[in-house]
Amino acid sequence: MTQNDTASGFEVHGARGAFNAAFFGTMGPYIEWNVRQHKRRVFADLPPTVVEIGSGVGANLRYLRPGSTLVAIEPNIPMHRRLRAEAERRGVHLDLRDRVAERTGLPGGSVDSVISSLVLCTVTDPADVLAEIRRVLRPGGTFRFVEHVAGRSGTPTRALQRALRRPWAWTFEGCSCERDLAGLLRAAGFARVDIEPYRLHTPFIPFNTQIAGVAHA
Ligand SMILES: C[S@@+](CC[C@H](N)C(=O)[O-])C[C@H]1O[C@@H](n2cnc3c(N)ncnc32)[C@H](O)[C@@H]1O
């Protein structure tokens, strides 16, 4: 384990970890404003206990009812202080786990609902994470997601995603704008997957091609 590894084995990127916590703390409201209609749809009527992978600084706490419990799988320690403060502000019980989404440590078939936003772009292997989500969901449970994905090949957006891949990944701690997450979700063995692709209109062009949906275990 290096000095920058947490107990989960996740590598914390020193100053970039702090930068990302501050970035999502500051830009959170702007990102939220852009994706709010999609989140309202897929995160509607969440059960009283929800598991979230990659909770960051708590962008999705607003979709849980006050008094609910969020089991937050978030290995990036620089995010934790803001996440705790936001949970308190929203009246949500926070069960914060310094673990990676690939190995949540949760019992199989024990979870009603898993949520994520803008996380499958960053994990080392999204197929592994989807397998773990399927493992922990009970039959009929749901994985609800809002994620950014690769643009259609041959488009200017896709070319920009390719051109910026290195500085983007460096700045945003491994984030890739080139993942076919819809394909991975459909191949992950869920009983049913409903996916809506859409496009944002923001200056952050590589991030504008997105999907939102629900996968049913
Ligand atoms: C782009 S941020 C999104 C945060 C939040 N979900 C949001 O929508 O604002 C990606 C988050 O995924 C977390 N993350 C990265 N790799 C992870 C992993 N293997 N397991 C769980 N979380 C991870 C990061 O620490 C970060 O909080």
72 lines ligand 1 (CB under 6 A): no
Residue 158 Cα to ligand 1 middle (Å): 23
Estimate to the nearest angstrom the gap between the alpha carbon of 47 and the chain centroid.
18
12 lines ligand 1 (CB under 6 A): no
- Mean predicted confidence (pLDDT) in 163-190: 97
Q: Give the pLDDT band (50/70/90) at residue 191.
A: very high
Task: For residue 67, give both structure tokens.
Answer: 């008094």
Residue 119 Cα to ligand 1 middle (Å): 5
Higher pLDDT, 67 or 2: 67
Q: Which residue has the tokens 């970890």?
A: 17
pLDDT per position as a tens digit, 43-96: 999 999 999 999 999 999 999 999 999 999 999 999 999 999 999 999 999 999
Probe target for ligand 1 pocket from 122, 130, 133, 143, with the most ligand atoms within 8 Å of CB: 122
DSSP state of 123: S
What integer pLDDT is reported at residue 2 of this predicted model? 37
Which domains, and CATH codes, for the chain?
Answer: 14-216 (3.40.50.150)
Q: Give the pLDDT band (50/70/90) at residue 7.
A: low
- Tell me the Ramachandran region of residue 189: left when phi exceeds 0, alpha when psi lies from -120 to 50, beta otherwise: left
Higher pLDDT, 105 or 9: 105
DSSP state of 134: H
Residue 14 has pLDDT above 90, yes or no: no
pLDDT per position as a tens digit, 101-137: 999 999 999 999 999 999 999 999 999 999 999 999 9
Task: For residue 42, give both structure tokens.
Answer: 């897929």
Q: Measured from the CA of 116, which atom of ligand 1 is nearest?
A: 6
Residue 4 has pLDDT above 90, yes or no: no
